[in-house]
Amino acid sequence: MSRDNNQEELQFSTRLLHFGAEIDRATGASSVPIYQASTFHHEDIHNPPLHDYSRSGNPTRQALEDYIALLEGGVRGFAYASGMAAISSTFLMLSAGDHVIVTEDVYGGTYRLLTLILSRMNIETTFVDMTELDQVKAALQPNTKAVYMETPSNPTLKITDVAAVTEWARSHDLLTILDNTFMTPYYQRPIEQGVDIVLHSATKFLGGHSDVLAGLAVARTPEIGAQLKMLQNGLGTVLAPQESWLLMRGMKTLEARMAHSERSAARLAAWLDDRSDIAKVFYPGLAQHPGREIHERQSTGYGAVVSFDVGSGERARKVLNKVKLPLVAVSLGAVESILSYPAMMSHAAMPAEVRAERGITDGLLRFSVGLEAIEDLINDLEQALTE
């Protein structure tokens, strides 16, 4: 019986399960096979096989790459050994002497790449507050080649008007890149708004189980896809077959996990916002969150990450030591809740004065809400916040 269907016509929840490689056509197996092979035999040297060496292409990884391209609405996907491998490989589309405009409160690993590594290759960066389009425009230089967005940003959840930035960038022939880790394609599909390359730390919400390290990229056009493929193959920054399989398994439950975690995150944000001992709460679902209207135009949900400032570094460390349910750890987006301390974890690579300029205070905590009962998470945080 034929199972062919047009995935583009299916609802997102259906595409998560019926993405084209969910059934192995050779055996009927209900899971993509793990092709744990480094090389592939050539039956006819004049007609080489589709895959010849796993750095250049592997059937398991290819299934994942096609999967994320389908979900994001791009023409071609790529899987990497980590989120930073995806980001760094993409930035190497730039050349010495080029300039890029970047969201100012970008993920700490991206900041480190730009300021400590790519700067040595004479690739220049200007960090701007992308909530202000005029600041983006003012950063344009004769050698500007790309604009890099992160929305909501990490960890203060600032909102960039993706359509406005992309329209302006296109008028200047600039490449647009967007880190979609926090929203995932379930809530936000930037390619539909004209973004050229979408990136993911797939370790986070896409994988969802704290058991795989992976990065993904999706290209809007075949030409950009060809460039990314050359870099992926040339740099060897590929995801292994076992991790590719684990990531696909996690992605199948993306909608169910995100929907549950978002409901809980909204309740947590409202509870924190009502407390007089919390200096500030950052969550796009709050009525007073800056950029909420823009976010609602370009996304279908608010996500599962809530950041909040408890007032001081001393108090933040006390809370981290007293909570019992969430992991106190780097990362986010897992089935279990994760409480992070950006100043000493995700953004430790930023100098203290730079963090302060971006609102990443010593009292800031980032809560990635998992699948636990929200009542239990709130009760646990209540006792941790009690002096």
From the candidates 98, 179, 309, 380, which is the catalytic residue? 179
Q: Is 324 an annotated catalytic residue?
A: no
* Residue that has been written with the tokens 């007073």 in this structure: 288
pLDDT tens for each residue of 361-385: 899 999 999 999 999 999 999 999 9
Handedness of CA 265, 269, 271, 277 (dihedral sign): positive
Which one of the listed residues 67, 80, 107, 341 is annotated catalytic? Answer: 107
Residue 46's Cβ-side half-sphere holds a number of Cα atoms within 13 Å equal to: 0
Residue 92 is predicted with a pLDDT of 98
Q: What is the pLDDT of residue 369?
A: 98
From the list 15, 76, 158, 204, the catalytic residue is 204
Question: What is the C-alpha to C-alpha distance for residues 150 and 40, in angstroms, rounded to an integer?
Answer: 39
Catalytic residue among 55, 229, 267, 280: 55
Write down the domain spans for the chain.
7-251, 254-385
Q: Is 204 a catalytic residue?
A: yes
Q: Angle at which helices 313-322 and 374-385 pack, to 10 degrees?
A: 130
What's the fold here for domain 7-251?
Answer: Aspartate Aminotransferase; domain 2 (3.40.640)
- Domain 254-385 indexed as CATH 3.40.50.720: no
| Residue 74: alpha-carbon gap to chain centroid | 16
Considering only CA atoms, give the Rg of the chain.
21
199 within 8 A of 178, measured Cβ to Cβ: yes
Virtual CA dihedral for 181, 184, 190, 192, nearest 10 degrees?
A: 160
107 flagged as catalytic: yes
Residue ranges, the chain, pLDDT below 50: 1-2
Is 55 among the residues known to form the active site? yes
Backbone phi and psi for residue 364, each to the nearest 5 degrees, phi listed first:
-85, 130
